[in-house]
Structure 1
Amino acid sequence: MRTPNTHPVPALRRISTALLALGLAGSALAAPLCRAPANLLANPGFENGRPSPGGNPPGWTFQSAYSGALGTWDTAVAHTGRRSVRIDATRPEDSHWLQSAAVPVNTPLFLGGWIKSDNLQRHDQPTSPGATISVLGRWDQPAPTLGTTPWHPVGMSFITDTSPLLVSARLGFWGGLATGTAWYDDLTLVPRVAEVPHPRWKILVLVYPQTDAVITQPDGTARHVQGQASPTEVTQALAHARLFVEQDIPALTSGNMLPTLTVRTASRPMQTLSPDGDMRWWPDAQADAEPGFDSVIVLWEPRVRDTATGESLWLGSSFGGMQYRGTRQTYTTVTLPYAGPNGNRNVYKLHWGASILSHFETLQRTPQPTVPPVTMASRYVHCQTGQQYVWLDETLDQPTPNSIYSNQAGFTHDYYSGTVARAEAPAVCLGIGPQAWAWGGPVTHSGTAPVFTAPERVEALVSQVQALRTAGMLGPRPAQTLQAELQAARRMLSLPRASHQASGPLQAFSRQVEALVHSGRLLPQAGALLIEAATAAIGCV
């Protein structure tokens, strides 16, 4: 009888050959990573050692910048286990529990943990994060923790150029002092790695049908403005947003990104507008942009009236916009008139594409030179054919193959799929391709949602097949056939004595994918990714 760590080598070679024929051979063929990278922090849950009055958990020291905070190894409150660390500050402080950690340099890292707080207040600067987990000497920080909160996860990604790092469970920040109490537990510092199948971005579409804000003009005059979109406009805008996330993104990325969507209507009007040029304002929805999403798309109403004069105003700087936010949650805005009835999904394609570029640029995962989502005619071509683009805007009423916004073949498609090239170097593929998507989003990636073991990989494949069906990239009957093979693999993996047999249905899954690609019922790029993921799962059985 074979051991659980063996599998039929000839079958694997056939799958590898099929994958190579499809044009995408990834790291899974060489040596799939079958367990999450080790935590680089010692005693991350503060469980080791013997607590004593005033004592520190092994591996950790406490510092208070102004000697006004108390650090405690708490044995009564914990996220998991029995212990945590706590900081109490009765006056404004920047204090921290510290550990020096050796790390690989020039590598994307994820630093995360769990925080609980009681009456945390900012002082000095409105941008103080309150309680946070960070690295001394860096400005990076997760979303703030303020007020009184239950245990909740926080985290951030960054690339370091030095080792060791001073990892900090911190209350306050440079120039952003804080008071109150915070607990910290279950810290993690791990290298981020590329995965197959690629991590699925969690996208929040947040709509504000009403605007009710006070804006300050360049001359210092304050104006109270109000506006409201019609229910029909909101319904149409949300329908467009859903189609963009569930159908356009998978098509534009050639199946490399299959996001999950959450749609919410804000419970209050858009009240916070930031200046963005002469008589233009930027909607700030950070109060409602939950940190658990990789990307937030805000739909808002820019058509308002001055409540004092009755004057009609347009507040938006354009159809939409984005912010460059590094490795943090991406942020895109689209004005409601151009999110639905008077516009089309090209607005989403443009501005969301710009927002994700900033994330991958910061992670240094995009080939150089970086391709901007807005460019000029004749500057770029398809990297595999050298074909130029039709420089027209495709619309729903007038589809134009190989045009700017075509989902199947065009500049924006190749930008999202990593198959665009400069005209002077037509064989060098650029853009956001599989090599970037594999690293995940700001929140959903190998450090927060690991997919390494065979059962995890099979579950991810089940989700991927369903997403391809939702996107209209895979028919119901083929999807049902693929899911049946994955269900068989799932059942065998659940039985310790039969787990090694899961390689059989996974090989059958790959053969079915290959047949779908050759018959034209599945895009080659999407098929290659599924086969690569199945091959990696076999390698981890």
Structure 2
Amino acid sequence: MRLTVPAAAVTAGPAWKIEVLIYPYTDITYLTAGVSHRLVGSLMPDEVTNIKTSMIGFVDTDVPALSSGKQHPKLTVKTVNKPLDAASLVADGGGGWTPDPWSTKADQDPGYNSYIVFWQSYGWDWGINATDNIGHYGGLTWNLGPAPTFSEITLSQLDYGGHNVIKHEWGHAITGFYDATGIAPKPMADNHHPESSVNCKTGRGYVLLDESASNPIPNSIFNNNSGFTHDYYSGLTAQASNPRHCIGITAKAWASGGPVSKR
């Protein structure tokens, strides 16, 4: 099943094309310290709908606002009806498992700037007869240089953080790409450290709170219009140690296009 959302009629730069891959099923058998595990998990239909709704809101509302109108991505959502298993999950370095850019390559359609995988990391472990969560990081983005970007997000993180986890992981993707191409100002904006960043025009710091849709907090970390994420998506943030040097994704960077969509 595939859902495609067109880009806005007018964009300041070439629209980034994002393909979302939803894996409704997980079925992996593995050994840990000599103990055999078999974790089986699945996404409910309403959870798949929630992923689609969240991504539509991200491309239609969040990114245009966060980028100060400089970007409105195109979105394609594809459901992959085969389980993530030992061939398509790899060790995540934290004691858990994750899909990665190479293990899911066969399911990625060519011609996209970004790939985002959503999957179910929770399930029933038949080896120990208990529930478990094998996605120990919740969300990861690989730095692939100038190549198309890749992020994965577990359902548990989407439920917990709403759009914020998508903003954060795609923030890793775009800052890494534009840093690798040399188009964005150096140094690369670090979206893990809002506490050491300021707005480069005002010198003002940020409210270090994680807002929600029902409780927006102006100038907070994820606020669409005046917060830390907005400023690095718009090339308006700076390191507190060099407050007048603007870094992040500038209008020039957005206008240059992405790994595939270019002028």
TM-score by length of 1: 0.44
Task: Establish whether residue 367 from structure 1 lines up as the match of residue 182 from structure 2.
Answer: no
Which residue number in structure 1 is paired with residue 98 of structure 2? 282
Identify if the C-alpha distance between structure 1 residues 380 and 343 changes in structure 2 by more than 3 Å, giving closer, same or farther.
Answer: closer
Bigger Cα Rg: 1
Number of residue equivalences: 248
The 5-angstrom pairing of residues 54-453 of structure 1 reads 197-217=12-32, 219=33, 222-271=36-85, 272-284=88-100, 285-340=104-159, 342-377=160-195, 379-446=196-263
Q: Deviation at 1:197?
A: 3.8
SS in 2 for 1:305: strand
Structure 1 residues not aligned, in runs of 5+: 1-195, 447-541
1:222-248 C-alpha deviation (Å, 9 max, x unpaired): 533210122222211221121112211
1:110-137 C-alpha deviation (Å, 9 max, x unpaired): xxxxxxxxxxxxxxxxxxxxxxxxxxxx
1:326 touches 1:362 (CA, 8 Å); kept in 2?
Answer: yes
Q: Deviation at 1:406?
A: 0.2
| Percent identity of paired positions between Structure 1 and Structure 2 | 39
Work out the CA distance in 2 between the residues paired with 1:388 and 1:349: 19
SS in 2 for 1:332: strand
Work out the CA distance in 2 between the residues paired with 1:286 and 1:213: 18
SS in 2 for 1:396: coil
Q: Deviation at 1:313?
A: 1.4
Identify if the C-alpha distance between structure 1 residues 336 and 423 changes in structure 2 by more than 3 Å, giving closer, same or farther.
Answer: same
2:12 touches 2:254 (CA, 8 Å); kept in 1?
Answer: no
Work out the CA distance in 1 between the residues paired with 2:61 and 2:34: 45
Amino acid at match of 1:363: T
Work out the CA distance in 1 between the residues paired with 2:165 and 2:248: 19
Identify if the C-alpha distance between structure 1 residues 223 and 245 changes in structure 2 by more than 3 Å, giving closer, same or farther.
Answer: same
Aligned CA RMSD, in angstroms, stands at 1.7
Identify if the C-alpha distance between structure 1 residues 433 and 283 changes in structure 2 by more than 3 Å, giving closer, same or farther.
Answer: same
Amino acid at match of 2:162: N
Identify if the C-alpha distance between structure 1 residues 401 and 376 changes in structure 2 by more than 3 Å, giving closer, same or farther.
Answer: closer
SS in 2 for 1:223: strand
SS in 2 for 1:287: helix
1:307-349 C-alpha deviation (Å, 9 max, x unpaired): 3332321111223111111111101111112224x43110001
Work out the CA distance in 2 between the residues paired with 1:259 and 1:216: 41
Work out the CA distance in 1 between the residues paired with 2:46 and 2:79: 14
Amino acid at match of 2:208: W
SS in 2 for 1:245: helix
The 5-angstrom pairing of residues 8-47 of structure 1 reads none
Amino acid at match of 2:44: S
Amino acid at match of 1:299: F
Which residue number in structure 1 is paired with residue 7 of structure 2? none
Which residue number in structure 2 is paired with residue 132 of structure 1? none
Which residue number in structure 2 is paired with residue 470 of structure 1? none
2:25 touches 2:81 (CA, 8 Å); kept in 1?
Answer: no
Work out the CA distance in 1 between the residues paired with 2:180 and 2:186: 13
Work out the CA distance in 1 between the residues paired with 2:34 and 2:257: 43
Work out the CA distance in 2 between the residues paired with 1:289 and 1:221: 33
Structure with greater contact order relative to length (CA < 8 Å, sep ≥ 6): 2
Q: Deviation at 1:216?
A: 4.2
Which residue number in structure 1 is paired with residue 4 of structure 2? none
Work out the CA distance in 2 between the residues paired with 1:233 and 1:348: 16
SS in 1 for 2:50: helix
Work out the CA distance in 1 between the residues paired with 2:30 and 2:218: 44
Work out the CA distance in 1 between the residues paired with 2:94 and 2:199: 38
Which residue number in structure 2 is paired with residue 512 of structure 1? none
1:319 touches 1:347 (CA, 8 Å); kept in 2?
Answer: no
Identify if the C-alpha distance between structure 1 residues 360 and 221 changes in structure 2 by more than 3 Å, giving closer, same or farther.
Answer: farther
Amino acid at match of 1:258: H
Work out the CA distance in 2 between the residues paired with 1:380 and 1:427: 11
Q: Deviation at 1:298?
A: 0.7
1:241 touches 1:339 (CA, 8 Å); kept in 2?
Answer: no
2:198 touches 2:239 (CA, 8 Å); kept in 1?
Answer: yes
Identify if the C-alpha distance between structure 1 residues 244 and 215 changes in structure 2 by more than 3 Å, giving closer, same or farther.
Answer: farther
Work out the CA distance in 1 between the residues paired with 2:30 and 2:161: 26
Work out the CA distance in 2 between the residues paired with 1:248 and 1:376: 19
Any runs of at least 4 consecutive aligned residues in structure 1 with deviations exceeding 6 A, and if so which?
Answer: none
